[in-house]
Amino acid sequence: MPEKPKGLQAAVARELNNGKAPQKHLKRSLGTKDLREANIRAKPVLAEFDRVIAKAKARLAAAIMPMIKRTSLNDTEIKRMAEYVYAKALAWDERVRFGGRDEMERLEAEHLRLGGTPLGPWAVPYEQWPQRGVPRSVFEDIIAG
């Protein structure tokens, strides 16, 4: 059985997500020793192999295509971006206001899990945060700002 091209081997491995760097051959047991039954069972397996290879080729083609750099945005795109940023800001604010101390601890743990450095002391220590909501001093800063 001939080996696949080197780039396609890696793309197939990524498509299968099996932890291998190159995937030289696709192989699957048909679960029978009977030649006639094996020929019948092979058709869907070969079709699945073809789908995996086609997806890998498409992924490779998408990675090779040059990125088109845009120099301007239209009004609709600008409005959508602004709405997205506004929605994310509101969602974060709601998480912190309703989550209180627990949410701040989760945010810091997530930051550390993603490889960040410890954030250092907070302006208001966790122990002084209420179970729900924000400390009075933080709330007053939000209102004033």
68-85 pLDDT, tens digit per residue, is: 888 999 999 999 999 999
Other residues' Cβ atoms within 10 Å of the Cβ of residue 116: 10
In 3D space, the residue among 24, 33, 31 whose CA is nearest the CA of residue 1 turns out to be: 24
Q: Which domain holds residue 36?
A: 6-64
The reply to whether 69 falls in a domain is: no
57 and 103 both lie in a single domain: no
Place of tokens 């030289």: 24
The reply to whether 1 falls in a domain is: no
Instruction: Supply angle C-alpha 23, 29, 30, rounded to 5.
Output: 135
In 3D space, the residue among 1, 56, 47 whose CA is nearest the CA of residue 25 turns out to be: 1
Domain count, the chain: 2
17 and 53 both lie in a single domain: yes
87 and 49 both lie in a single domain: no
The reply to whether 70 falls in a domain is: no
118 and 139 both lie in a single domain: yes
- What average pLDDT does the structure give for the chain? 81
Structure token digits, residue 56: 């890998």
pLDDT in tens, 3-43: 666 667 777 777 777 777 777 778 788 888 888 988 888 88
**Predicted TM-score of the model (pTM):** 0.41
Place of tokens 């250092």: 120
79 and 139 both lie in a single domain: yes
